[in-house]
Amino acid sequence: MIPETKKMQLEIGGKQVVVETGKYARSANGSVTVRCGDTMLFVHAVVSKEPRVGIDFFPLLIDYEERMSSIGRIPGGYNRSEGKASDKAILISRLIDRPIRPLFPKGYRNDIQIVAQLFSYDQENQPDTLAMLGASCALMLSGAPFEGPIGAVRVSRDAEGNFIANPTHAQAKASDLDIVVAGTHDSVIMVEAGCKFVTEDDIMNAVEFAQGEIKKQCEAQMEFVKECGVEKQEFVNPYDTSGIAKIIQDVAGDMIYDAYHHFDREYRQNKLEEAKNLVKEKIEALPDDDYIKKILEETGVDFVAEEFKAAEKHVMRAMILDEHVRADGRKYNEVRPIWCEVGVIPRAHGSAVFTRGQTQILSVATLAGPSMRQELDGVDPQTEKTYMHKYIFPGFSVGEVKPLRGPGRREVGHGNLAERANIPALPSQEEFGYTIRVTSDVLESNGSTSMGSTCGSSMALMNAGVPVKCMIGGVAMGMIKEEGYEPVVLTDIQGIEDFLGDMDFKVTGNDDGITALQMDMKAKGIPNETLRKALYQAKEGRLHILGEMRKVITEPGPMSPFAPSITTLTIPTEDIGAVIGPGGKQIREIIDASGAEIDIQDSGVVTITSNDQEGAKIAIKMIKDITFKPEVGMVLKGKVVRIIPIGAFVELGGGKDGMVHISQICHERIDKIEPHVNVGDEVIVKIIKIDDRGRVNLTIKGVTDEEKARVEAQGKGEE
């Protein structure tokens, strides 16, 4: 017997979205299917009954899974099974996590896992915002103390400037704006965007448009949960840590105040470490039956560290709100000191170091031919990338011992943000046929490494000679929001302001427009007027940073001698098979003879990439020989290979030759071809006739001086 189901239907962007529960995965605390068109996801939420012991964080785990069967394909690879999550899946997992995490009460430590599974994908209706909606619904149905619901919507706009909610892939690709906004019924919590030089007002208009759709989603979920009869659990923190807070204030309050008023990071860290040790000694001296000692032992939770962080947070925020000074002495809109350099790695194609305060990034650009583009084996319509950015965050950058491993979710997210930031400035593949990879190594970190990577990448690309449209800079904004005070927006936040603040808002772009942005909140939302203020304050900071970058490099430089050269030529599509040869034999011979990398597109465009100019010339000649077809009027250079009494045979290429009749060698009459022309001579000839048997008749005397000069110039590589 099929169980009873409940449905929620709403319209987003003119398309019907259906959320259903009660039919599948009934052992999960909350489970829904979400469908729009033929895009369909199953989203499940599971909440542990008891808090996890011995942790001092909220254990929320979000997994977004793509199934290749959703687009009717079997996965590639030896095992023919889905392997590790793709970068796109990781980014969507982060997208779901970011607006949900701030909406759980302090002290809640029950494990929660949300699994979003993409089972059907029409490759039109994008699944990310549907997964976010499904996650919110599943959480609401689970009864967890989630202070939601949230809604999420992607916004693009058409050629007339009209906003589109949850656009198709084609609509988003054609738009100059692609932004995902998530929030509650009355405030924004998360923004993620990739743009093509749009203004701050464009962003705000898109956010305000999105809020209407988000509010509609939140109201629908509240009705849906009510219809399903779900009651939310009330969470009351079972542990009273006020006694620990009092000990910290009595023992270390003055030391914490002093640490934050010296404006020196090393002094602050040392002073705080000294204060923590004094607090630990005080607590260790308490009787064994003291309540504080009991809860520390029973739970395994480091409540001392939690309350010490709260004490630091109070001092740091009071300095900003009451004294109008930040932890390093800066004003609210001041950027840390910047210095940059380019060309620091001798054999790299392009390199740059971007240093801002105690955050330092080394970006290195590498150029390669089209065959090195990244192939994407996923469900997304995008199948390849010709620009890649990798962000690397080693332990030594923060003075820690940490094994070097592959990129985690944070690294993937930061790398993707810096990648999206620079894409609008890149030339098209038609203008610049290279595949480009940039790596950004964090050498030192004190906040905003993703924006440092954006700046470093832009300078490394210019140093590599990539003809970018403009320079791209980025800045991270923060916020301090307390009841009774106007929210304070901070420019270029350092690590402590991110850790103890309420917002991390990254904005990238050039002098005129925004190319990417990402906003995360620790508070439960941001007013629109504060968001607008942050955008315009970010522009001021970005312009300052761009000015500092331009002190080192202002335009793309010459390409490195170590970078490969790329030559492009077009052959008739019917000749592609001849160039490749049976089983690829011919193309392998060309590669072996020239040492060049050769890429042939279905359109007949051939790209030859080589570190050796001579090798490129060999490959070009071999391809031209294979595809050569003589035509009347052609003027070209060839070698005399044979002489007979009535004429000379000239090799034209591709195994073809033609004959210059004795009457076509000189303007005056001659009786003997030699010494006017000898075997082995290179001569410039013109094709004057091709008979019905394919024999080619040539002339030497009929070639004009202009035609000779043109052929000679082409041979030297001149225009």
For residues 312 and 213, give the distance between their C-alpha atoms in angstroms, rounded to a whole number.
39
pLDDT at 133: 97
Residue 466 lies in a domain: yes
659 and 579 inside one domain: no
155 and 294 inside one domain: no
Q: How many helices (H) and strands (E) does the chain have?
A: 16, 29
With a cut of 70, say whether residue 613 has pLDDT above it: yes
Among 204, 228, 252, give the residue marking a domain's end: 228
Residue 159 lies in a domain: yes
pLDDT at 716: 62
pLDDT at 313: 93
Among 67-71, 72-76, 334-338, 656-660, the range scoring the smallest mean pLDDT is 72-76
pLDDT at 711: 81
Residue 194 lies in a domain: yes
Structure confidence at residue 715 as a pLDDT band (50, 70, 90): low
Residue 702 lies in a domain: yes
pLDDT at 33: 97
pLDDT at 272: 93
For residues 232 and 423, give the distance between their C-alpha atoms in angstroms, rounded to a whole number.
44
648 and 607 inside one domain: no
Tell which wins on pLDDT, 310 or 81.
310
29 and 155 inside one domain: yes
Residue 517 lies in a domain: no
470 and 367 inside one domain: yes
Q: What angle separates helix 449-463 from helix 409-422, to the nearest 10 degrees?
A: 50
With a cut of 80, say whether residue 697 has pLDDT above it: yes
* Residue-wise pLDDT tens digits, 497-527: 998 999 999 999 999 999 999 999 888 888 8
Structure confidence at residue 377 as a pLDDT band (50, 70, 90): confident
Q: What angle separates helix 585-594 from helix 613-627, to the nearest 10 degrees?
A: 150
For residues 306 and 248, give the distance between their C-alpha atoms in angstroms, rounded to a whole number.
11
* Residue-wise pLDDT tens digits, 66-112: 999 999 988 877 777 777 888 999 999 999 999 999 999 988 999 99
Residue 97 lies in a domain: yes
597 and 683 inside one domain: no
Structure confidence at residue 300 as a pLDDT band (50, 70, 90): confident
pLDDT at 553: 97
136 and 261 inside one domain: no
Strand, coil or helix: 123: coil
660 and 700 inside one domain: yes
- Mean pLDDT across the stretch 704-710? 86
Structure confidence at residue 568 as a pLDDT band (50, 70, 90): confident
For residues 331 and 491, give the distance between their C-alpha atoms in angstroms, rounded to a whole number.
9
CATH number of the CATH domain containing 437: 3.30.230.70
- Domain extent, residue 446, equals 338-482+525-549
pLDDT at 120: 96
- Mean pLDDT across the stretch 567-577? 87
Structure confidence at residue 373 as a pLDDT band (50, 70, 90): confident
Q: How many domains does the chain have?
A: 5
With a cut of 90, say whether residue 273 has pLDDT above it: yes
473 and 600 inside one domain: no
Query: With contact defined as beta carbons under 8 Å apart, do 611 and 564 qualify?
Result: yes
CATH number of the CATH domain containing 694: 2.40.50.140
With a cut of 90, say whether residue 443 has pLDDT above it: yes
189's tokens: 């919590």
pLDDT at 370: 87
Structure confidence at residue 376 as a pLDDT band (50, 70, 90): confident
Kindly give, in sequence order, each residue whose CB lies less than 8 Å from that of residue 613, ignoring residues fewer than 6 positions away: 565
Residue 467 lies in a domain: yes
* Residue-wise pLDDT tens digits, 454-493: 999 999 999 999 999 999 999 999 999 988 899 999 999 9
Query: With contact defined as beta carbons under 8 Å apart, do 624 and 653 qualify?
Result: yes
Among 323, 349, 366, give the residue marking a domain's end: 323
Q: DSSP H helical segments within 472-584, as ranges? A: 495-499, 528-549, 576-580
27 and 115 inside one domain: yes
Query: With contact defined as beta carbons under 8 Å apart, do 137 and 149 qualify?
Result: yes
- Mean pLDDT across the stretch 258-287? 91
pLDDT at 105: 92
Residue 513 lies in a domain: no
CATH number of the CATH domain containing 316: 1.10.10
With a cut of 80, say whether residue 113 has pLDDT above it: yes
484's tokens: 């009774």
Among 14-28, 207-221, 305-319, 619-633, the range scoring the smallest mean pLDDT is 619-633
Looking at residue 44, its amino acid is: H
For residues 110 and 99, give the distance between their C-alpha atoms in angstroms, rounded to a whole number.
18
pLDDT at 719: 39
How do the residues of the chain divide into helix, strand and coil, expressed in percent and rounded to 5? Answer: 35, 30, 35
594 and 679 inside one domain: no
With a cut of 50, say whether residue 645 has pLDDT above it: yes
22 and 75 inside one domain: yes
Q: Which of 289-303, 415-429, 696-710 has the highest mean pLDDT?
A: 415-429
CA atoms within 13 A on the CB side of 161: 5
Strand, coil or helix: 336: coil
- Mean pLDDT across the stretch 381-389? 90
Kindly give, in sequence order, each residue whose CB lies less than 8 Å from that of residue 130, ignoring residues fewer than 6 positions away: 17, 34, 36, 39, 41, 166
Among 97-111, 313-327, 435-449, 669-683, the range scoring the smallest mean pLDDT is 669-683
Query: With contact defined as beta carbons under 8 Å apart, do 517 and 508 qualify?
Result: yes
Structure confidence at residue 541 as a pLDDT band (50, 70, 90): very high
What is each CA distance from 161 to 164, 178, 517, in whole angstroms?
9, 13, 20
Q: Please give the share of the chain, as a percent, with pLDDT higher than 70.
A: 99
Among 605, 627, 649, give the residue marking a domain's end: 627
- Mean pLDDT across the stretch 138-165? 95
514's tokens: 């925004």
- Mean pLDDT across the stretch 243-250? 93
Among 357-371, 541-555, 690-704, the range scoring the smallest mean pLDDT is 690-704
